Structure 1
Amino acid sequence: MNPSTSQAFETTVVHAGEDPERHMGSLSTPIYQTALHVFPNAEDGHLIHEGHKPGYFYGRMGNPTQAALEQAMCEVEGGEAALALASGMAAISNAILSIVEPGDHIVAPASLYATTGALLDGLLPKLGVKVSYVDATHAANYQEAVTPKTKLFYLESPANPTMKMVDIEAVVSVARSKSITTVMDNTFATPYNQRPLDLGVDVVVHSATKYLGGHGDLTAGVIVGRKDVVDRAHWQTNKVLGGVIAPWTAWLVIRGLRTLALRMERHNSNALKLARFLANHPKVREVHYPGLETHPQHVLARRQMKGFGGMLSFDVGGVDEGRRLVDNVKLCSLAVSLGDVSTLIQHSASMTHAIVPRERRLAVGITDGLLRLSVGIEDPDDLVADLRQALQHV
């Protein structure tokens, strides 16, 4: 499907990737449960195998169900090309490794997803790639960190789990002035709330495990954006790393996309209601949510986001207080993921960011009592009641 440029996102996401003519009239894209595709002749075998002609030959290099998801993601994010992969980290690592080489330099936000940090701190230095971390709330910090070897600016906004924002257009302006490629993790916001490619970012990555799938029943990732980068990720990096998405998983992500707009409307409204409740609770020290007027970058969030998302974090004091709260929720589930229809809560210091040294964690705002809340689509009054009773134990 090739949507009209004037078509609403809510319409595009329902029909993205549809091609009944290509799939024998099937409105729902079939699951092509095969590892191999037969060539009609030797010449086509050569051309398809080398990527000179469209087609499929081996599951690691593509599948029609996977291709339907990739087309859908191009439509909903506005990208030239996409590559679906086995996980969000497969998407992040493939995107980065398709851009940098030994001797190159990356500038990244100090506050970001912990496993992305593990990639930047652990694997990349072994490959001869240097990384500098900056306070990404000020675009000037990216510029100050640039060296003659800087090849990539990495962005994450809102940041995990501090909800700090990046001025996307300002960072892109710095990058373009110095011919630096930009890669942005748009998992928290989703393309419903934020369109980084429209703001000039070169490549967007998603953990499709989260909001795109939406139901906590799959693990997947997506790269979408500039064709040359995506092509390198497809035909070079992932060809040897092999982080291939399964056809059944690709189909589940496509199905999840159909309800993305509806779910995000509810995630957004529920999160704002819970953020306001928590901001007025005497046992909560601070709430981080870009939809609150008290968020230091609320004006920026209003400018570059359609909605403020389903993610928030709040501080209840210390490690013991944080653990007591998560041990006493009844409706919320204690789990490390996010973007599910169910509300999920975690204590960041002892869970996802336990691998980060305490001094570094505190320096970027991940305090001992910080709790991350992925607000689901339940009745918001029930969620407020659950948090209210759990806070009595803090």
Structure 2
Amino acid sequence: MELSYILNELGEDRELYFNAVAPPIIQTSNFACKTVAEMREMLKNESDVYFYTRGNNPTITILEKKMAALEGAEHAIAFGSGIAAVSAAVLSQVKAGDHVVCVKKPYSWTNTLMKSFLPRFGVEVTMVDGTDASNYKNALKPNTTLLYLESPNSFTFELQDIEAIVAIARAHNCSTIIDNSFATPLYQNPLAMGVDLVVHSCTKYIGGHSDVMGGIICGKYETINKIFVQEYMTLGAVLDPHAAWLLIRGLRTLPVRMDRIAASTRKVVEYLSQHPKVEQILSPFIENNPQYELAQKQMRSNTGQFTITLKTDDIAKIDLFCDSLKHFLMAASWGGHESLIYPVAASYNTGNYKSSLPFNMIRFFIGLEDPDYLIKDLEQALRKV
């Protein structure tokens, strides 16, 4: 299926809404039935009809069809946030007494889900270094049901060998889930490598404008439908129609934005890699990265995130560098039009430093600004370190 068709035409039955170029926001909670018999039939098969927006909604359906097609999936289901999608996907694959193997250092709230939430309900979790696929195999137990991946994972961007871990999972009758938010469906397609469920934080690149939150799960129709009737309908972490409309809008420009972001990021990384005050750069697509070949095998391009370590152990200098940047916003998340930093030092409190990451580490996201504009800003800030 052609990318342009997916982004601009798939799911958009314009003749049903006055041939409007932009789809309408069907801002309704209910859909009326004409007869008792019609309502009865809808209640029998709510996953395939429009009955109540906590289940299905036409605007949200357009988004789900597009995301499923982008990931090469049979079906998709949208949620109100990325962690809602992650949580529903994981909960759909486990029960009390099961065991999960999860990559170390995932997204912070995924980490909370694995370490604090699941154990409350009798699900054991083992966190492993995912850079070596054998660590997943060595962590398996007779009650292991799920292997969870996030490749590249948050902040330090280690990769997992997706095909190798899928082979381990299949050999031991386990399911696999991967968070593909970093790469987007344009640059990595884990379902084609055998993964069972792909999740995204649509808040990031899919939305692209830092003005909407959302999440999605992509997979086989039968699996997604089971999530619909269980975790989705029960927990109610649904996406609202206006948010879906904003995410559809974001998809229109996804290829153009990603091309620009990737090119600008390469230029900024090249500048920083030669700067004497930068100790290290963490990015899958730097040639001295030991996983560089794996990145080229699994992904089609770099994206906008990388992390640097400043060559100083003086937290005051790190604060000064970050505070001196004029054109990088200091904020959580990433994927919008604006460039961002997230310093580990922000979580530093005297006598109460809890992060496992060094405090001279700073995560960057490069947005749509001119890269030379950003480099000039970095130059003046680095002079103060």
The bucket for the TM-score relative to the shorter chain is: over 0.9
How far apart are 1:121 and its partner, in Å? 1.1
1:367 alignment counterpart: 358
1:345 alignment counterpart: 341
Report Cα offsets for 1:189-216 as digits up to 9, x if no partner.
Answer: 1011111111111111111111000000
How far apart are 1:180 and its partner, in Å? 0.9
Separation in structure 1 between the aligned mates of residue 4 and residue 47 of structure 2, nearest angstrom: 33
2:188 alignment counterpart: 194
Matched, 1:390 2:381: yes
Residue of structure 2 aligned with 1:126, choices 106, 120, 126: 120
2:368 alignment counterpart: 377
Report Cα offsets for 1:134-178 as digits up to 9, x if no partner.
Answer: 000111111111111111111111111001111111111111111
Separation in structure 1 between the aligned mates of residue 360 and residue 220 of structure 2, nearest angstrom: 40
SS of 2:154's equivalent?
A: coil
Kindly provide the amino acid, as one letter, of the partner of residue 380 in structure 1.
P
Separation in structure 1 between the aligned mates of residue 223 and residue 107 of structure 2, nearest angstrom: 22
SS of 1:285's equivalent?
A: strand
Matched, 1:58 2:56: no
Matches within 5 A, 1:151-300: 151-300=145-294
Conservation of the 8 A alpha-carbon contact between 2:47 and 2:225: no
Separation in structure 1 between the aligned mates of residue 147 and residue 57 of structure 2, nearest angstrom: 31
Report Cα offsets for 1:119-144 as digits up to 9, x if no partner.
Answer: 11111111111110000011111111
Residue of structure 2 aligned with 1:78, choices 72, 83, 86: 72
How far apart are 1:53 and its partner, in Å? 7.2
Matches within 5 A, 1:9-158: 9-51=3-45, 54-158=48-152
Separation in structure 2 between the aligned mates of residue 173 and residue 150 of structure 1, nearest angstrom: 15
Matched, 1:307 2:301: yes
How far apart are 1:358 and its partner, in Å? 5.8
How far apart are 1:24 and its partner, in Å? 4.3
Conservation of the 8 A alpha-carbon contact between 1:137 and 1:166: yes
Conservation of the 8 A alpha-carbon contact between 2:46 and 2:55: no
Conservation of the 8 A alpha-carbon contact between 1:276 and 1:292: no
Separation in structure 2 between the aligned mates of residue 16 and residue 139 of structure 1, nearest angstrom: 37
Kindly provide the amino acid, as one letter, of the partner of residue 367 in structure 2.
G
Q: Which runs of 5+ in 2 are unaligned?
A: none
SS of 2:24's equivalent?
A: coil
Kindly provide the amino acid, as one letter, of the partner of residue 384 in structure 2.
H
Choose 247-256 or 218-227, whichever is displaced more.
Answer: 218-227
Q: Which runs of 5+ in 1 are unaligned?
A: none
Q: 1:22 to 1:151 in 2, by over 3 A?
A: farther
Runs of 4+ in structure 1 off by over 4 angstroms are none
2:330 alignment counterpart: 334
2:318 alignment counterpart: 322
Report Cα offsets for 1:272-310 as digits up to 9, x if no partner.
Answer: 111111111111110011121111111111111111111
Conservation of the 8 A alpha-carbon contact between 2:318 and 2:345: no
Separation in structure 2 between the aligned mates of residue 358 and residue 98 of structure 1, nearest angstrom: 35
Separation in structure 1 between the aligned mates of residue 335 and residue 268 of structure 2, nearest angstrom: 16
Separation in structure 2 between the aligned mates of residue 80 and residue 13 of structure 1, nearest angstrom: 17
Separation in structure 2 between the aligned mates of residue 16 and residue 207 of structure 1, nearest angstrom: 21
Aligned-residue sequence identity (percent) comes to 39
Kindly provide the amino acid, as one letter, of the partner of residue 344 in structure 2.
S
Conservation of the 8 A alpha-carbon contact between 1:13 and 1:257: yes
Separation in structure 2 between the aligned mates of residue 52 and residue 246 of structure 1, nearest angstrom: 18
Give me the TM-score of the superposition, normalised by structure 1. 0.92
Separation in structure 2 between the aligned mates of residue 179 and residue 32 of structure 1, nearest angstrom: 41
Kindly provide the amino acid, as one letter, of the partner of residue 338 in structure 2.
S
Report Cα offsets for 1:53-108 as digits up to 9, x if no partner.
Answer: 73111121121111111111111111111111100111111111111111111111
How far apart are 1:11 and its partner, in Å? 4.8
Kindly provide the amino acid, as one letter, of the partner of residue 343 in structure 1.
S
- Between the two proteins, the alignment pairs up a number of residues equal to 381
Separation in structure 2 between the aligned mates of residue 27 and residue 34 of structure 1, nearest angstrom: 21
Separation in structure 1 between the aligned mates of residue 44 and residue 382 of structure 2, nearest angstrom: 59
Separation in structure 2 between the aligned mates of residue 104 and residue 18 of structure 1, nearest angstrom: 41
SS of 2:29's equivalent?
A: coil
Conservation of the 8 A alpha-carbon contact between 1:109 and 1:155: yes
